[in-house]
Protein backbone atom coordinates (compact mmCIF):
# COMPACT_ATOMS: atom_id res chain seq x y z
CA UNK A 1 0.00 0.00 0.00
CA UNK A 2 1.23 3.52 -0.78
CA UNK A 3 0.37 6.80 0.92
CA UNK A 4 1.25 10.38 0.09
CA UNK A 5 1.53 13.48 2.22
CA UNK A 6 1.87 17.24 2.37
CA UNK A 7 5.59 16.95 3.14
CA UNK A 8 6.27 15.63 -0.38
CA UNK A 9 6.97 12.10 0.77
CA UNK A 10 5.47 8.84 -0.41
CA UNK A 11 5.53 5.84 1.89
CA UNK A 12 5.03 2.14 1.26
CA UNK A 13 3.31 0.04 3.91
CA UNK A 14 2.67 -3.63 4.55
CA UNK A 15 -1.11 -3.69 5.05
CA UNK A 16 -0.94 -6.87 7.11
CA UNK A 17 1.57 -5.61 9.68
CA UNK A 18 0.81 -1.88 9.25
CA UNK A 19 4.56 -1.22 9.17
CA UNK A 20 6.37 1.09 6.83
CA UNK A 21 8.49 -0.90 4.37
CA UNK A 22 11.23 1.63 3.61
CA UNK A 23 12.31 5.21 3.94
CA UNK A 24 9.95 7.66 2.21
CA UNK A 25 10.36 8.29 -1.51
CA UNK A 26 11.30 11.95 -1.69
CA UNK A 27 11.35 14.00 -4.86
CA UNK A 28 8.26 16.17 -5.12
CA UNK A 29 8.33 19.75 -3.88
CA UNK A 30 5.18 20.22 -1.85
CA UNK A 31 2.14 18.03 -1.41
CA UNK A 32 1.87 14.71 -3.22
CA UNK A 33 -1.78 14.52 -4.22
CA UNK A 34 -2.05 11.09 -5.84
CA UNK A 35 -0.39 7.70 -5.95
CA UNK A 36 -1.20 4.82 -8.29
CA UNK A 37 0.37 1.42 -8.85
CA UNK A 38 0.60 -0.01 -12.36
CA UNK A 39 -1.60 -3.11 -12.66
CA UNK A 40 1.43 -5.42 -12.35
CA UNK A 41 2.74 -3.51 -9.30
CA UNK A 42 6.15 -2.86 -10.87
CA UNK A 43 5.74 0.92 -11.17
CA UNK A 44 4.35 3.44 -8.71
CA UNK A 45 3.25 6.79 -10.13
CA UNK A 46 2.98 9.89 -7.96
CA UNK A 47 1.50 13.31 -8.73
CA UNK A 48 2.25 16.53 -6.94
CA UNK A 49 1.70 20.18 -6.30
CA UNK A 50 4.97 20.79 -8.17
CA UNK A 51 3.12 20.06 -11.47
CA UNK A 52 5.04 16.84 -12.05
CA UNK A 53 4.34 13.13 -12.25
CA UNK A 54 7.09 10.81 -11.04
CA UNK A 55 7.58 7.11 -11.67
CA UNK A 56 9.16 4.87 -9.05
CA UNK A 57 10.41 1.32 -8.73
CA UNK A 58 8.59 0.34 -5.53
CA UNK A 59 10.89 -2.62 -4.83
CA UNK A 60 14.18 -0.71 -5.09
CA UNK A 61 12.74 2.61 -3.92
CA UNK A 62 14.29 4.61 -6.76
CA UNK A 63 12.84 7.11 -9.19
CA UNK A 64 12.64 5.90 -12.78
CA UNK A 65 13.93 8.60 -15.08
CA UNK A 66 13.24 12.29 -14.96
CA UNK A 67 10.00 13.79 -13.65
CA UNK A 68 7.20 13.90 -16.23
CA UNK A 69 6.37 17.52 -16.82
CA UNK A 70 3.75 19.10 -19.02
CA UNK A 71 1.10 20.33 -16.61
CA UNK A 72 0.87 24.04 -15.84
CA UNK A 73 -0.11 23.51 -12.20
CA UNK A 74 -0.72 20.87 -9.53
CA UNK A 75 -1.46 17.32 -10.67
CA UNK A 76 -4.21 15.71 -8.58
CA UNK A 77 -5.28 12.60 -10.50
CA UNK A 78 -3.59 9.50 -11.93
CA UNK A 79 -4.95 6.42 -13.69
CA UNK A 80 -3.16 3.53 -15.37
CA UNK A 81 -4.78 1.71 -18.25
CA UNK A 82 -5.71 -1.88 -17.34
CA UNK A 83 -2.74 -3.25 -19.34
CA UNK A 84 -0.32 -0.74 -17.76
CA UNK A 85 0.73 0.62 -21.16
CA UNK A 86 -0.58 4.14 -20.53
CA UNK A 87 -0.72 6.47 -17.56
CA UNK A 88 -3.15 9.40 -17.49
CA UNK A 89 -2.61 12.47 -15.31
CA UNK A 90 -4.82 15.51 -14.68
CA UNK A 91 -5.25 18.36 -12.26
CA UNK A 92 -5.68 22.04 -11.65
CA UNK A 93 -4.85 23.13 -15.20
CA UNK A 94 -7.96 21.33 -16.54
CA UNK A 95 -5.88 19.18 -18.88
CA UNK A 96 -5.40 15.42 -18.98
CA UNK A 97 -2.14 14.06 -20.39
CA UNK A 98 -1.23 10.54 -21.43
CA UNK A 99 2.19 9.05 -20.78
CA UNK A 100 4.11 5.93 -21.72
CA UNK A 101 5.21 4.70 -18.27
CA UNK A 102 8.17 2.79 -19.73
CA UNK A 103 9.76 5.67 -21.63
CA UNK A 104 8.27 8.62 -19.72
CA UNK A 105 7.24 10.20 -23.03
CA UNK A 106 3.93 11.95 -23.62
CA UNK A 107 1.52 10.10 -25.87
CA UNK A 108 -0.91 11.90 -28.15
CA UNK A 109 -2.46 15.31 -27.73
CA UNK A 110 -3.42 17.03 -24.50
CA UNK A 111 -7.04 16.31 -23.58
CA UNK A 112 -8.62 19.71 -23.09
CA UNK A 113 -12.11 21.10 -22.77
CA UNK A 114 -12.89 21.34 -19.07
CA UNK A 115 -13.39 24.81 -17.65
CA UNK A 116 -11.27 24.44 -14.53
CA UNK A 117 -9.62 21.57 -12.74
CA UNK A 118 -10.07 17.90 -13.53
CA UNK A 119 -11.10 16.09 -10.37
CA UNK A 120 -11.35 12.52 -11.60
CA UNK A 121 -9.91 10.05 -14.12
CA UNK A 122 -10.96 6.52 -15.00
CA UNK A 123 -10.03 4.04 -17.70
CA UNK A 124 -12.53 1.61 -19.21
CA UNK A 125 -11.87 -2.08 -18.44
CA UNK A 126 -10.51 -2.67 -21.96
CA UNK A 127 -8.42 0.53 -21.95
CA UNK A 128 -10.08 1.97 -25.05
CA UNK A 129 -11.74 4.89 -23.24
CA UNK A 130 -10.68 7.43 -20.66
CA UNK A 131 -13.20 9.46 -18.68
CA UNK A 132 -12.36 12.82 -17.13
CA UNK A 133 -14.56 14.51 -14.55
CA UNK A 134 -14.22 18.27 -14.34
CA UNK A 135 -14.96 20.46 -11.40
CA UNK A 136 -17.00 22.41 -13.92
CA UNK A 137 -19.65 19.69 -13.55
CA UNK A 138 -18.91 17.96 -16.85
CA UNK A 139 -17.80 14.46 -17.70
CA UNK A 140 -15.85 13.86 -20.90
CA UNK A 141 -15.17 10.57 -22.62
CA UNK A 142 -12.06 10.17 -24.73
CA UNK A 143 -11.41 7.41 -27.26
CA UNK A 144 -7.76 6.56 -26.62
CA UNK A 145 -7.02 5.36 -30.17
CA UNK A 146 -7.88 8.81 -31.55
CA UNK A 147 -5.96 10.90 -29.04
pLDDT tens for 41-80 read 999 999 999 999 999 999 998 999 999 999 999 999 999 9
Radius of gyration of the chain (CA): 15
This prediction's pTM: 0.93
CA distance 75 to 107: 17
pLDDT at 51: 97
DSSP 128: S
Structural contact between residues 28 and 39, judged by C-beta atoms closer than 8 angstroms: no
- Domain of 109, CATH number, reads 2.130.10.10
Which residues constitute the domain of residue 73? Answer: 2-146
CA distance 63 to 43: 10
φ and ψ at 43, to 5 degrees? -135, 140
pLDDT at 118: 96
Q: Per the structure, how many domains does the chain have?
A: 1
Task: For residue range 89-144, list pLDDT tens digits in order.
Answer: 999 999 999 999 999 999 999 999 999 999 999 999 999 999 999 999 999 999 99
Amino acid sequence: MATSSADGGVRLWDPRTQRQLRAPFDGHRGTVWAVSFAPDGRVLATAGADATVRLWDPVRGVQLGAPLSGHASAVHELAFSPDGQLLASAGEDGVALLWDPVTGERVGSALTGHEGAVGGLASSPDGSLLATAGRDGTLRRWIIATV
